[in-house]
């Protein structure tokens, strides 16, 4: 999926440090980052407290602004911004999880130790392959598919396709002031789904 015009403009505003740009960026992608945090922890059998989750989300956004937003400046627009951020966030979160696993985790909790081993292997990977990027996009789509009816389409249009509230309103035949509440409700549902054990 190509970089959307709305995300291209948002990215340009961020790297120019225009007033309000970073707040708009966080609002747009915080749901995606929360999903990556929850999925990465769950897939490694690591239980997160709400404070842990908040810390990991904050760490991702902190890394995005480090060194004059170097991570964002390196984005070449060869995929959607959401796909790029999913890959970046996943690598940051996995490294944080590995770094904070206790060294004697094997003695305390064999399941957590095994999960830590998987996280180490993932963190040491040379870099995201095309297959990994596709898997991440599929992961996001899978979570969106857990939403009911029009909520899923609103989230897809906003977070993955990069449409504005006005564009979504026109395309979906919804009042523009209803788009924000729909996204808030959908994000809450996505967090709940992400916290449910799989299989």
In whole angstroms, how large is the CA radius of gyration of the chain? Answer: 17
CA 59 – CA 19 distance, rounded (Å) = 22
Measured CA to CA, the distance from residue 189 to residue 182 in angstroms comes to 11
> Block means of pLDDT (10 residues each) for the chain, length 199 residues?
87 93 93 91 86 90 89 89 92 85 45 41 39 47 73 79 82 88 78 59
Provide the pLDDT for residue 77: 87
DSSP letter at 160 equals I
The Cα 94–Cα 75 span in angstroms is 20
**What is the predicted pLDDT for the residue at 144?**
74
Residue-wise over 163-181: b if at least 16 C-beta within 10 A, else e?
bbbebbbeebeeeeeebee
Which residues, other chains included, contact 197 with Cβ-Cβ below 8 Å and sequence gap of 6+? 42
Contact 90, 75 (CB under 8 A): no
Joined together, the tokens standing for residue 140 give 């996001």
First to last CA, the chain: 29
| Structure confidence at residue 93 (pLDDT) | 92
Going 191 to 145 to 91 to 161, the CA torsion angle's sign is negative
Q: Which domain holds residue 81?
A: 5-195
The owner of tokens 């995201």 is 128
Place of tokens 């490294």: 95
Q: For 112, list phi and psi in degrees, rounded to 5.
A: -70, -35
Predicted confidence at residue 120, as pLDDT, reads 40
Contact 164, 152 (CB under 8 A): no
Residue among 198, 197, 195 at smallest CA distance from 37: 195
* pLDDT at residue number 112: 41
Please say whether the beta carbons of 93 and 26 come within 8 A.
no
Q: 35, 192 in Cβ contact below 8 A?
A: no
- Please count the structural domains in the chain: 1
């Amino acid at each position: 999926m190509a970089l959307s015009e709305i995300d291209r403009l948002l990215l340009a505003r961020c790297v120019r440090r225009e007033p309000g740009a970073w707040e708009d960026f966080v609002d747009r992608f915080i749901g995606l980052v929360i999903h990556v945090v929850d999925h990465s922890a769950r897939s490694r059998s690591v239980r997160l407290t709400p404070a842990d989750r908040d810390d990991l989300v904050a760490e991702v956004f902190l890394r995005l602004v480090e060194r004059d937003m170097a991570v964002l400046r390196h984005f070449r627009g060869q995929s959607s911004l959401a796909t790029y951020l999913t890959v970046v966030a996943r690598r940051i979160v996995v490294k944080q999880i590995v770094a904070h696993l206790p060294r004697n985790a094997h003695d305390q909790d064999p399941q957590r130790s095994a999960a830590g081993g998987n996280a180490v292997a993932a963190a040491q990977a040379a870099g995201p392959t095309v297959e990994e990027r596709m898997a991440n996009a599929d992961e996001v789509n899978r979570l969106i598919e857990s939403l009911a009816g029009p909520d899923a389409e609103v989230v897809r249009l906003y977070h993955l396709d990069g449409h504005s509230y006005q564009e979504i309103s026109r395309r979906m035949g919804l009042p523009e002031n209803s788009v924000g509440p729909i996204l808030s409700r959908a994000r809450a549902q996505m967090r709940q789904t992400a916290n449910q054990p799989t299989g």
